[in-house]
Amino acid sequence: DGGITQSPKYLFRKEGQNVTLSCEQNLNHDAMYWYRQDPGQGLRLIYYSQIVNDFQKGDIAEGYSVSREKKESFPLTVTSAQKNPTAFYLCASSYGRYSYEQYFGPGTRLTVT
Amino acid sequence: GIQVEQSPPDLILQEGANSTLRCNFSDSVNNLQWFHQNPWGQLINLFYIPSGTKQNGRLSATTVATERYSLLYISSSQTTDSGVYFCAVDGSEKLVFGKGTKLTVNP
């Protein structure tokens, strides 16, 4: 089955620790995205990548970092510099750039205390 | 940047009722998608509809690009339709989401 997987589903960390969220897709999509969702809100773009070894900042990139070493994988690191890291994180992919239909993974709920 | 407004913010229905959700956007778009976010947080693609009309079972959507709005119709609603419905459009090289319509369907 083709799709997008994110792991883990739930993640708990202590303040001051970096944490990496996994996102893998087997849809052969070129573009991948990371979004953040806070309770009762829409999604906000953190980072996106249109091709391997290239990525761009979204609206709320501060305190986050990404890498795109393989087409299938786009991990997101939430660093200790992110002031309010507790949120629901969603990964997405699309065949091409933003005008193409995006598909989403199941998400990771991160809680930092 | 492009603005996306969804209405109503909340909607409560009895099972079997019909509903219409609206999405207004402030500029021309090449991509408009409707999603359903289920209670577990998963975003399910409903429609990719930058213009025209599409139907999928009890759901249908219409986008009037020249007037910058899209409508999502849900007929004969079921309790499993509950959740949040998001509209998203492309703007400045990214997908911009509205704040969603929270739908509750009571048995």
Pair B105, B14: CB distance under 8 Å: yes
B93 contact residues in A (CB cutoff 8 A): 56, 97-98
Q: Which of B33, B93, B99 sits opposite A42 (nearest CB)?
A: B99
Nearest to A9 by CA among B41, B86, B37: B41
Backbone φ and ψ for A12, nearest 5 degrees, come out as -120, 135
Interface of A with B in 72-111 (CB under 8 A): 88, 90, 97-104, 106-107, 109
Query: What's the burial of B23, exposed, middle or buried (CB within 10 Å: 0-12/13-18/19+)?
Result: buried
> How confident is the model at residue B49, as a pLDDT?
95
Tell if the CB–CB gap between A106 and B41 is shorter than 8 Å.
yes
Query: What's the burial of A88, exposed, middle or buried (CB within 10 Å: 0-12/13-18/19+)?
Result: middle
Nearest CA in chain A to B100: A42
pLDDT at A101 over 90: no
B30/B32 Cα distance (integer angstroms): 7
Nearest to A43 by CA among A3, A2, A100, A102: A102
Q: Which two tokens stand for residue B19?
A: 């509903």
Tell if the CB–CB gap between B41 and A109 is shorter than 8 Å.
yes
pLDDT in tens, A5-41: 999 999 999 999 999 999 999 999 999 999 999 988 8
Tell if the CB–CB gap between B42 and A106 is shorter than 8 Å.
yes
Q: How do the pLDDT tens digits run along chain B, 107 residues long? A: 899 999 999 999 999 999 999 999 999 888 899 999 998 899 999 999 999 999 999 999 999 999 999 999 999 999 999 999 999 998 667 788 999 999 999 99
pLDDT in tens, A38-75: 988 889 999 999 999 999 999 999 999 999 999 999 99
Q: Collapsing DSSP states into helix, strand and coil, what is residue A18?
A: coil
Q: Which of B40, B41, B45 sits opposite A103 (nearest CB)?
A: B45
Which ranges constitute the DSSP H helices of chain B? none
- Minimum distance, in Å, between the CA of residue A80 and any CA atom of chain B: 25
